[in-house]
């Protein structure tokens, strides 16, 4: 009897070890179809967990929001703060076994800056010598751009001026490396499952549209990971459906709640909140729409009472003041266009526009929360200005194309920090940048942002960003910040090591199930 008991225990132990060696499957929800798997074209939170687990950069942002080495084992900076020399780690390989080379970063940055790529984040490299001219076709010879591979492990970047936050940029996905040889060989098929070669902890195993994206462990990944060998991003658009799937054990993590579902989730023991550098806002198309009229923008902004928003959304939201959120250089708690129906009516009169004939549309993503916010704004404008607002809702992919190419005067948008600096928020509105969907343009604003990049004095940068926001919000009403919020999630109890950092990243290499 003792012998049988011992054998049973031994068998169970071996079975557990066997199961552990096979690894675990981690399932999480994404609220919409990913627009792309191309890290030079990705630009939304839907793609974020895919980009940050398929790929890696020269550096990464730690839990204290400080850049630390990643694919580069060290970084040397010249005394004038203009030249950065990155030394790549030994032994790092792409998922097909090919060694990572400094030239892969040169090719990645070349592709980001190439006009034909149409990368929305190309402007991030405009402080590199020659980069902006190359992107704008004023310079045709890329060898004159300030990036080159000194040898297989040494990548050198030369800036035209010091940039205070530059090390953070190298942790952001648009600056990740690419394999030029594979793009040339496979053409537009290089991003397909089975062909996409990555350098992060996972590879793209399969993709079923409207259903799921399956990631598998990269067999050539360079560092130790947890026990997750398969990660499945489940495309579940409806929040209530996602809640039920979570409760039944079908997914391990859920984010992006509809207000009613959030109310149900908050008392649950699995409910977690994480700080998030993020601003939800109303954007006005400053050129190419009826919202070109500044007085109309001011009228609309003053007509919306934002104080009820947290109670409407049932969450951790806080009414926004400045576009730059709290805990980021440039945040201004005193800056806002206050709710003032009388002032709104005065501005509407100054605009010369008859509210009875005004054709006004707002575009939003076809999800519960944006739809609720669009309907609330619609009711506020009708009540306080007598203006009729038509709501246009689109799925994630179509929404992105509509706000990039359409002429909707109003857009319900969200912006989360790509790096923990005020420039990540203010650079969005520089003249001509790929993500400036408002088409806002102001020479003084641009000057302030450029000066803030060069100045390493935090107090001076803070003042420059605040002055820029006065122009952006109070004077021109290009945007109306609506609310800030934390990252809210349901995390299954068996999941260990899962965390979301303040710029919205989570790294599945750290997770154990």
> 10 Å Cβ neighbour count for 393?
16
Three-state DSSP state, 147: strand
Query: Which positions ≥6 away from 138 have C-beta within 8 Å?
Result: none
Helix H or strand E segment including 413: strand 410-416
CA distance 237 to 29: 9
Instruction: Find residue 300's DSSP bridge partners.
Output: none
pLDDT recorded at residue 22: 65
Please report, in angstroms and rounded to a whole number, the separation of the first and last CA atoms in the chain. Answer: 34
CA distance 206 to 139: 40
Per-residue pLDDT reduced to its tens digit, 132-150: 999 999 999 999 999 999 9
HSE, CB side, 13 Å, CA atoms: give it for residue 405.
7
CA distance 362 to 285: 10
User: 319 and 229 in one domain?
Assistant: no
Tokens at residue 419, please?
A: 């790096």
User: 398 and 323 in one domain?
Assistant: yes
CA distance 204 to 54: 7
User: 165 and 207 in one domain?
Assistant: no
CATH of the domain at 326: 3.10.105.10
Query: Residue 252 carries which DSSP code?
Result: S
CATH of the domain at 238: 3.40.190.10
Residue 331 above 70 pLDDT?
Answer: yes
Final residue in a domain of this structure, among 121, 152, 185: 185
Distances (CA, A) of 293 to 138, 285, 288, 299, 461: 33, 10, 10, 10, 31
The pLDDT confidence band at residue 205, using thresholds 50, 70 and 90, is very high
User: 216 and 181 in one domain?
Assistant: no
* pLDDT > 70 fraction of the chain, expressed in percent and rounded: 96
Instruction: Report residue 446: phi and psi, to 5°.
Output: -60, -40
Would you say residue 338 lies in a domain? yes
User: 114 and 143 in one domain?
Assistant: yes
Per-residue pLDDT reduced to its tens digit, 438-493: 999 999 999 999 999 988 889 999 999 999 999 999 999 999 999 999 999 999 99
Final residue in a domain of this structure, among 158, 185, 212: 185
CA distance 263 to 268: 10
Q: Domain range for residue 156?
A: 56-185
User: 493 and 473 in one domain?
Assistant: no
Q: Which of 8-12, 247-251, 300-304, 347-351 shows the lowest mean pLDDT across its residues?
A: 8-12
Instruction: Find residue 59's DSSP bridge partners.
Output: 69
User: 469 and 410 in one domain?
Assistant: yes
Per-residue pLDDT reduced to its tens digit, 396-430: 889 988 888 877 999 999 999 999 999 999 999 99
User: 477 and 415 in one domain?
Assistant: yes
pLDDT recorded at residue 380: 98
Per the structure, the count of domains in the chain is: 3
Would you say residue 73 lies in a domain? yes
Helix H or strand E segment including 393: strand 389-394
* 274-289 per-residue burial string, b: 16 or more CB within 10 A, e: under 16: bebbbbbbbbbbbeeb
Final residue in a domain of this structure, among 161, 185, 209: 185
Which one, of 230, 114, 104, lies nearest residue 178 by Cα? 104
pLDDT recorded at residue 23: 87
User: 269 and 143 in one domain?
Assistant: no
CA distance 27 to 231: 6
Would you say residue 8 lies in a domain? no
Greatest extent of the chain over all pairs of C-alpha atoms, in Å:
95
Which one, of 416, 418, 419, 411, lies nearest residue 439 by Cα? 411
Residue 1 above 80 pLDDT?
Answer: no
**Contacts from 459-466 at CB under 8 Å and sequence distance 24+?**
461/164, 461/329, 461/330, 461/422, 462/329, 462/330, 462/422, 464/330, 465/324, 465/329, 465/330, 465/422, 465/426, 466/322, 466/330, 466/332, 466/335
Would you say residue 269 lies in a domain? yes
Query: Which positions ≥6 away from 148 have C-beta within 8 Å?
Result: 106, 155, 156
The pLDDT confidence band at residue 316, using thresholds 50, 70 and 90, is confident
User: 447 and 414 in one domain?
Assistant: yes
In contact, 171 and 67? CB cutoff 8 Å:
yes
Mean pLDDT of 100-123: 97
Which one, of 109, 151, 150, 149, lies nearest residue 131 by Cα? 109
Per-residue pLDDT reduced to its tens digit, 56-92: 999 999 878 889 999 999 999 999 999 999 999 999 9
Which one, of 134, 129, 71, lies nearest residue 101 by Cα? 71
CA distance 155 to 452: 26
Q: What is the mean pLDDT of the chain?
A: 93
In contact, 179 and 195? CB cutoff 8 Å:
no
CATH of the domain at 164: 3.90.76.10
pLDDT recorded at residue 153: 98
Query: Which positions ≥6 away from 257 have C-beta within 8 Å?
Result: 239, 243, 265, 315, 369, 488
Mean pLDDT of 287-315: 95
Mean pLDDT of 242-248: 97
- Number of helices (H), then strands (E), belonging to the chain: the values are 16, 19
In contact, 230 and 215? CB cutoff 8 Å:
yes
Would you say residue 133 lies in a domain? yes
Would you say residue 374 lies in a domain? yes
Higher model confidence: residue 52 or residue 18? 52
Give the per-residue SS3 of 169-213: HCCCHHHCCCCHHHHHHHHHHCCCCCCCCCCCCEEEEEEECCCEE
Would you say residue 47 lies in a domain? no
User: 436 and 370 in one domain?
Assistant: yes
CA distance 6 to 417: 56
Would you say residue 193 lies in a domain? no
Mean pLDDT of 188-204: 97
User: 232 and 163 in one domain?
Assistant: no
pLDDT recorded at residue 6: 40
């Amino acid at each position: 009897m003792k012998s049988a008991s011992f054998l049973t225990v031994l068998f169970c132990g071996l079975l557990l070890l066997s199961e552990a060696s096979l690894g675990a499957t981690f399932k999480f929800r994404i609220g919409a179809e990913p627009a792309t798997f191309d890290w030079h074209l990705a630009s939304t939170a839907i793609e974020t967990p895919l980009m940050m687990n398929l790929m890696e950069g020269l550096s990464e942002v730690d839990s204290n929001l400080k850049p630390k080495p990643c694919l580069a084992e060290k970084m040397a900076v010249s005394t004038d703060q203009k030249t950065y020399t990155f030394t790549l780690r030994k032994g790092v390989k792409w998922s097909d076994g090919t060694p990572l080379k400094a030239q892969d970063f040169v090719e990645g940055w070349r592709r980001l800056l190439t006009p034909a790529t149409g990368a929305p984040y190309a402007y991030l490299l405009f402080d590199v010598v020659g980069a902006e001219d190359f992107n704008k076709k004023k310079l045709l010879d890329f060898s004159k751009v300030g990036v080159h591979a000194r040898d297989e492990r040494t990548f050198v970047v030369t800036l035209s001026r010091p940039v205070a936050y530059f090390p953070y940029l190298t942790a952001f996905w648009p600056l990740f490396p690419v394999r030029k040889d594979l793009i040339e060989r496979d053409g537009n098929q290089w991003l397909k499952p089975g062909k996409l070669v990555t350098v992060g902890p996972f590879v793209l195993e399969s993709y079923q549209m409207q259903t799921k994206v399956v990631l598998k462990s990269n067999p050539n990944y360079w560092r130790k990971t947890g026990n997750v060998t398969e990660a499945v991003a489940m495309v579940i658009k409806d929040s209530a459906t996602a809640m039920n799937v979570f409760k039944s054990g079908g997914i391990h993590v859920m984010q992006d709640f509809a207000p009613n579902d959030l109310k149900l989730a908050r008392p649950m023991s699995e409910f977690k909140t994480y700080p998030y550098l993020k601003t939800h806002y109303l954007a006005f198309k400053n050129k190419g729409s009826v919202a070109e009229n500044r007085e109309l923008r001011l009228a609309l902004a003053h007509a919306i009472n934002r104080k009820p928003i947290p109670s409407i959304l049932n969450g951790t939201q806080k009414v926004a003041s400045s576009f730059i959120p709290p805990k980021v250089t440039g945040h201004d708690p005193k800056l806002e266009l206050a709710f003032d129906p009388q002032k709104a009516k005065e501005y509407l009169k100054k605009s010369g526009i008859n509210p009875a004939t005004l054709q006004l549309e707002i575009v939003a993503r076809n999800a519960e929360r944006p739809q609720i916010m669009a309907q609330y704004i619609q009711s506020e404008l009708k009540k306080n200005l007598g203006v009729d607002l038509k709501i246009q809702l689109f799925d994630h992919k179509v929404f992105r194309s509509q706000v990039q190419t359409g002429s909707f005067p109003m857009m319900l948008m969200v912006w989360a920090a790509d790096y923990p600096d005020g420039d990540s928020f203010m650079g969005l509105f520089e003249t001509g940048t790929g993500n400036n969907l408002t088409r806002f343009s102001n020479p003084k604003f641009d000057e302030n942002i450029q000066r803030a990049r060069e100045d390493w004095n935090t107090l001076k940068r803070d003042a420059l960003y605040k002055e820029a926001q006065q122009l952006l919000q109070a004077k021109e009403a290009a945007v109306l910040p609506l609310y800030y919020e934390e990252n809210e999630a349901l995390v299954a109890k068996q999941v260990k090591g899962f965390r979301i950092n303040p710029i919205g990243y989570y790294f599945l290499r750290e997770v154990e199930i």
